[in-house]
Amino acid sequence: MPEILVWFRFSSCNYVQRAVQGVGISYVFLRFTIFTRLFNIHLEGFNNFVRFASKIVRTISILFAFCRLTFLIGFFIFDQMSLEIIFRFASLAGLMFNQHFVIRFFDC
């Protein structure tokens, strides 16, 4: 029976890249806040917003990677099911499918 291999536009390597980008964006925001403090620019509300935004960016990056990982684990667990059921599982996991995914069949 042929196995089903799904190649997504964002591979697992990009999960790490997105997490690093989230940390990098947070780093840039924090550097900007340090820069404003050096020149005695009082932006306390803005600094609080930046801290909050950086936490949100990191959280979204981690959740995005977790959703993709959850789907892949579920995909390999339920690989005997029909594609319709698998795609329903994916929609429950909150994934958005677009024209960038390809389904390839191959024999072991």
pLDDT tens track for 47-96: 677 777 778 877 877 777 777 766 666 666 655 555 566 566 555 555 44
pLDDT band at 5 (very low <50, low <70, confident <90, very high): very low
pLDDT at 41 over 60: no
Q: Which residues partner with 103 through β-bridges? A: 6
pLDDT at 40 over 70: no
Terminal CA-CA length for the chain: 8
Tokens standing for residue 55: 């936490």
Mean pLDDT of 5-17: 48
